[in-house]
A = this chain, B = another copy of it.
Amino acid sequence: MNLIKRDLNHNWHPCMQMKDFETFPPLSIKSAEGSYLTLTNGQKLIDANSSWWCKSLGHGHPKLKSALLKQAEQFEHVMFGNTTNETIIALSEKLAELSPNLNKVFYASEGSCAVEIALKMSLHANYLQGQSHRTKFMALKNGYHGETCLALSASDLGLYRKAYESILQPVSFIDHIPYVLSTEDPLWEDCSTHWPKIEEHLNQHSKTLSAIILEPIVQGAGNMKIYSKDFLIRLRQWTTENHIHLIADEIMTGFGRTGYALACEHATIEPDFICLGKGLTAGWLPMSAVLTSQNIYDIFYDDYATHKAFLHSHTHSGNALAAAIALECFKITEEENIYASVQKNSEYLYKNMQQVAEKTRLLQNVRYIGFIAAADLMIEVPRAGYEIYKNAIPLGAFLRPLGNTIYWLPPLNTSLSTLDELTDITIRAIQKTCL
């Protein structure tokens, strides 16, 4: 039986309408290297979305392969509840260096679970401090944090929520976000025009909130929208003044995507919790982590009989194979100067997207930060983004527009010549879609 038929017999692919595969079958992957995927028919595709934004160092990095094998020679996984090991310790030391005061690391596997852990820790910390009235969460309009129930409650994507409204938590969403197209937008430095309305909304909830969660600087699933760093600065200040935790979901933005280790660095703010995933293992293995402060940690630290422990666990918390990969990612990032290279090539990526806009005259709101460039399609074709995805495959790129937003989010070490190739393919895929 052919591979596609066998796939469709059994595999229920994530986040897909399976019927779409009747007319455009799943891509059959044979191998992958650097920024390219190779299909079983021999065709090569640029992985323009870094496989759901995780393959920050590209596919098959030889040093990551070596790190995996080396750890497999020692042991693959021992439960992390009562044990430790050199690999996970070295990794946690690197993670603790990311932010001045967030020196405690709690591990999970899915990004969504890291979000749930941060939200639960915030609520639990308030509970232990006699702030049991602080039970609410706030998030940003158009934000996304995952699809387990609590993470989904904090996500403002209607279609993802509709069937589950009966079991979601009530979360208030912050509106009037000062979006920008780039860091050159005046709003980037000063969003005082937007702030009063936002603050008014915040003040209504100041006594019941446990935490505000957000994707710092860029909202990923919400069409790669970039917002003012000043908004983040003001929000940090307001949450501090009102004794409300700030949770930065850096799962997509972390590890260089916006040009820094953390997107929070744009605003030089430090949240109370940071969620990490995706780039943590450069998309090799599932691993996520929550960073928090000694202050939060100390609230839970007491004699066993006081029952203050944070009783949350996942089987593979601290998995040694994933930890070995993550640790090596730090080394590669330093050796290959990844963050500096993103800062250097960011504008190149942007100019290429502008070229697409100029050549096609079908894009608006071209925007960029770090190694992300995006724009909105002005095309009347139904499901234009999906049509572009299909048209780009025979041309050699795995583009995956979000609705009618086209974006590039390639591996951080993608060569400039590959970016040029991607630009050419994107232009042709858009043009073909509009014929």
Per-residue interface assignment for chain A, residues 18 to 38, with 1 indicating a CB less than 8 Å from any chain B CB and 0 otherwise: 111000001111111100010
Binds B, one of A72-80, A239-247, A332-340: A72-80
Contacting residues, chain B, for A120 (C-beta < 8 A): 147, 149, 163-164
B300 and A18 within 8 A (CB): yes
A80 and B14 within 8 A (CB): yes
A54 and B77 within 8 A (CB): yes
A interface size (C-beta, 8 A): 127
Contacting residues, chain B, for A164 (C-beta < 8 A): 120, 123-124
Pick from B10, B309, B321: contact of A17, CB below 8 A: B309
Q: Within the complex, what minimum Cβ distance (angstroms) separates A49 from chain B? A: 8
A284 to B, closest residue via Cβ = B76
A296 to B, closest residue via Cβ = B12
A60 is an interface residue with CB less than 8 A from chain B: yes
A77 and B309 within 8 A (CB): no
B82 and A26 within 8 A (CB): yes
Q: Within the complex, what minimum Cβ distance (angstroms) separates A301 from chain B? A: 5
A68 and B72 within 8 A (CB): yes
A167 and B167 within 8 A (CB): no
Contacting residues, chain B, for A81 (C-beta < 8 A): 13-16, 52, 400
B123 and A52 within 8 A (CB): no
Total identical chains: 2
Interface centre among A4, A6, A149, A150 (most CB of B within 10 A): A149
Contacting residues, chain B, for A159 (C-beta < 8 A): 307, 311
Contacting residues, chain B, for A199 (C-beta < 8 A): none
Name the interface residues of A59-98: CB closer than 8 Å to any CB of B. 59-60, 64-65, 68-69, 72, 74-86, 88-89, 92-93, 95-96
Q: How far is the CA of A124 from the CA of B168 in the complex (A)?
A: 13
Q: Knowing A14-B107, A124-B164, say if A47 contacts B286 (CB, 8 Å).
A: no
Q: Knowing A4-B84, A52-B315, A313-B15, say if A123 contacts B68 (CB, 8 Å).
A: no
A435 is an interface residue with CB less than 8 A from chain B: no
B10 and A105 within 8 A (CB): yes
Chain A facing B: main interface SS: mixed
Per-residue interface assignment for chain A, residues 382 to 402, with 1 indicating a CB less than 8 Å from any chain B CB and 0 otherwise: 010010010000000010100
A51 is an interface residue with CB less than 8 A from chain B: yes
Contacting residues, chain B, for A203 (C-beta < 8 A): none
Q: Within the complex, what minimum Cβ distance (angstroms) separates A145 from chain B? A: 12
A302 is an interface residue with CB less than 8 A from chain B: yes
A147 and B313 within 8 A (CB): yes
Contacting residues, chain B, for A68 (C-beta < 8 A): 68, 72, 321
A89 and B313 within 8 A (CB): no
Q: How far is the CA of A304 from the CA of B120 in the complex (A)?
A: 35
Q: How far is the CA of A322 from the CA of B65 in the complex (A)?
A: 14
A228 is an interface residue with CB less than 8 A from chain B: no
A236 is an interface residue with CB less than 8 A from chain B: no
A381 is an interface residue with CB less than 8 A from chain B: no
A108 is an interface residue with CB less than 8 A from chain B: yes
A135 is an interface residue with CB less than 8 A from chain B: yes
A292 to B, closest residue via Cβ = B12
Q: Knowing A76-B59, A110-B315, A285-B316, say if A167 contacts B29 (CB, 8 Å).
A: no
Q: How far is the CA of A322 from the CA of B54 in the complex (A)?
A: 16
A75 and B59 within 8 A (CB): yes
A43 is an interface residue with CB less than 8 A from chain B: no
Interface centre among A69, A82, A159, A317 (most CB of B within 10 A): A82
Q: List 28 A-B contacts (CB under 8 A).
A: A4-B84, A6-B93, A7-B89, A9-B96, A10-B104, A11-B84, A11-B105, A13-B81, A14-B317, A15-B81, A15-B313, A18-B300, A26-B83, A29-B84, A32-B75, A33-B75, A37-B78, A52-B313, A59-B75, A68-B72, A76-B285, A81-B400, A82-B389, A110-B315, A112-B113, A149-B150, A284-B321, A286-B314
The 6 closest A-B pairs by CB, nearest first: A149-B150, A15-B313, A14-B313, A32-B75, A10-B92, A17-B309
